[in-house]
Amino acid sequence: MINHEIKIAFEEYSTLAELSKADQNICQEAVKAMENSHSPYSKFRVGAALQLQSGKVIHGSNQENVAYPSGLCAERVALFNWGANHPADPIKTIAITAHTNDFEIIKPVTPCGSCLQVMAEYEKKQDEHLRIILYCIDGPVWVTTGVASFLPFMFFEDRLIAQ
């Protein structure tokens, strides 16, 4: 038997004010992105903002549908927009935030497994880790580099790539 251990590391800041001005700005862009959330069923609004190498910012927000599986998370909306429209401009940072009027969110909301797998795919595509900022409005902020911090057993099968 071999015993393996996986450890993750991330930085935690008490408030947004502790971050650099650039990180504060991308978090505020995630808040702006959240304004376009279509979440009439869950009432749980999520916003994601991508900071590209060029300085361009791409927004994404969760888009629900009465046929629940037909909706899409904010992270994937932003990432698929990047993949379709800006694939030559690498993603440097993704900031994600959420809000609901139904309860208080007291810690950062993490991406779902599907969003993490898409983030992993785009890290691989651009051959560069993403800087990930999870922003809890009026609460802590978590910062890490690389999707493996959240999804250590991400799926990759290099034999599926056409040679």
Report CA torsion sign: 62, 66, 67, 68: positive
pLDDT by residue (tens digit) across 106-152?
A: 999 999 999 999 999 999 999 999 999 999 999 999 999 999 888 88
Active-site option among 35, 75, 104, 128: 75
Does residue 75 have an active-site annotation?
Answer: yes
How far is it, in rounded angstroms, from Cα 162 to Cα 54? 30
Fold annotation for 11-149:
Cytidine Deaminase; domain 2 (3.40.140)
How far is it, in rounded angstroms, from Cα 105 to Cα 99? 7
Tally Cβ neighbours within 10 Å of residue 135. 27
Look at residue 97 and tell me whether its pLDDT is greater than 90: yes
- This prediction's pTM: 0.93
Mean pLDDT, rounded, for 70-79: 97
Map out the domains of the chain as residue ranges.
11-149
Long-range contacts of 3-6 (CB under 8 A, 24+ apart): 6/152
